[in-house]
Amino acid sequence: MSTSDDRLTFGVLGTAGIARKAVVPAIAASDHAVGAVASRDGERARRFAEEHAIPRSHGSYEALLEDAGIDAVYVPLPNGLHAEWTTRAADAGLHVLCEKPLAVDAAEARAVTDHCADRGVTLMEGFMYRYHPRTERVLELVAEELADVRTVTSTFRFPLYDRPNDVRLDPELAGGSLMDVGCYPVSLARTVLGEPDRAYAHTHDTRDAGVDTELAGVLEYEDGRSARIASGFDTQLIQRYRIDATNGWVAVERAFDAPTDERTELTYEIDGRRGVETFDPVDQYRLQVGHFADCVAGDASPLTDGGEAVANMRVIDALSESADGSGSVAIE
């Protein structure tokens, strides 16, 4: 560990777009810092470090894990590599903030979570939307004002055009719309309704890539409640959810990847009272980094910890199994 106070120095495993556009700037704007970045291409790592004023760059992920100047790693690698490098970081005694999804399935997520616990390091899955004040307010309305929530409907789609070699289209790297963006509607539905009992899904592969590029699913609860989720790479950007209860509803647009430089809103109608609540611009990635650092300092479990990752993957596994032709699938 490089510091004795609560200030974390991060190493970044990879130069993915999400690191460049969102998380590295968020760390730089926080009370913490990025001390090193790694890529399998040393020149790429060097350019990334220069672009973001990062002191050190490494031409391999192994070299970064041996860097004595870092306390934690951020893992924005392709999905299929998350488990391996989270585990290896834990073996190096480093805390881990890993992009979602943590692993390729629930069994692997459980193994990674147990491994990090055995090594005594903090593990957090990067579902940044959970840390936005608007999400916190939605959950407050659900808990305190909505009576008997019956359905959640949630969608996250965006256009992935003219990028045939994108890692999100690679089955060997656990690509597909469900894993990339469908995991957000699944997370939201579970957060509001709890753990579902069964799942049903229909998918289509419009690119003949070997992964789903469109998904529509239903999560079923024994008491009759339900959630409808959708994800895809084949339409213009749409990210929204609506929560319906016996006495009203709450709806959110631009729901997951909220802008950092614009106000955001939620709308509702509860007990005949219709309203709009507005939230000042915030960087939810910076809030996520702050929560992670606080948990490291306090030896606390993050809101989106390994157990949460395992539970989300159980639902994703069931949706995937259903889409392969199994009909309605029980969630184990």
Q: Which residues of 81-120 are buried (b: 16+ CB within 10 A; e: fewer)?
A: bbbebbbbbbebebbbbbbbbbbbbbebbbebbebbbebe
CB count in 10 Å sphere of residue 51: 12
Helices of type H across 208-305: 284-298
Nearest by Cα to 229 from 211, 241, 212: 241
Q: Which residues pair with 231 in a beta bridge?
A: 156, 215
Q: What is the DSSP string of 32-69?
A: -EEEEEE-SSHHHHHHHHHHTT-SEEESSHHHHHT-TT
CB within 8 Å of 243: residues ≥ 6 apart: 138, 142, 146, 149, 151, 152, 192, 249, 250, 251
* Whole-number Å distance between alpha carbons of 21 and 76: 12
Residues assigned a catalytic role: 100
CA distance 206 to 224: 33
3-state secondary structure 101-140: CCCCCHHHHHHHHHHHHHHCCCEEEECHHHHCHHHHHHHH
Q: What's the token pair of residue 287?
A: 């809030």
Cα–Cα distance, 176 to 315 (Å, whole number): 15
Task: Round to whole Å and give the CA distance between 332 and 327.
Answer: 15
As a whole number of angstroms, the distance between CA 149 and CA 154 comes to 14
DSSP 250-273: EEEES-SS--SSS-EEEEEEETTE
